[in-house]
Amino acid sequence: MANDVMIDIESLDTSPNCVILSIGAVLFNPKGAGITEKISLKPLIEEQTEKFNRVIDDSTIQWWSTQSESARNEAMGDEGRIPFRDCMEALYKFCWNRRAVWSHGAPFDVVAMESAFRNLDMKIPWPYYTVRDTRTLFEITGVRLGDGGHKTTHKAVEDAERQAIVVQKAYGILIAAGVTPQ
């Protein structure tokens, strides 16, 4: 049953209180194949800095200047931007009552989303013990993100989808080895 969520974000800092450029989330079954649903959100940037004191880092801006034009346009463009609260409410609904929430590395994407929920005095839609980390799973099983069929694009929803597909590959390796993941 597809009831896990993979979250990927693009941001203007690497701290939990970063300005969020875009959020991608996909619904998937780690023991299955493919993605069953996805959501792509782009919160208003100025609102995050002016009302919520979210952070922009100069070195992250510099890093963005080295990324592809298409990734920069997707992350920083104004098209499709919605109020911060509307964005986080949509993510909340998408993530509510899921078995697990995943991100590529435990200390960033999910933590930044939790910080954003707190900024808005919203409840976090997942219990702390349901957070999963792809990096640990990938190290244990020997898979790499490149095994997902395409490279990191720094387009949040595409990267979330690729990460979920590689989680499915890693689960397949575990199952073939006789391990029964939850």
pLDDT score at 152? 65
Task: Identify the band that residue 97 occupies on the pLDDT scale cut at 50, 70 and 90.
Answer: very high
Share of the chain above pLDDT 90, in %: 85
Question: CA-to-CA distance for 134 and 87, rounded, in angstroms?
Answer: 24
| Alpha-carbon gap, residue 8 to 22, rounded angstroms | 8
Q: Are 123 and 110 in contact (CB under 8 A)?
A: no
The full set of domains in the chain, from first to last, is 4-176 (3.30.420.10)
Q: What is the pLDDT of residue 149?
A: 54
Helix 156-176 × helix 134-141 angle, to 10°: 40
Sign of CA pseudo-dihedral 38, 181, 16, 58:
negative
Please report which confidence band the pLDDT of residue 95 belongs to, taking 50, 70 and 90 as the band edges: very high
pLDDT of 126 > 90? The answer is yes
Q: Look-up: residue for tokens 């609102």?
A: 47
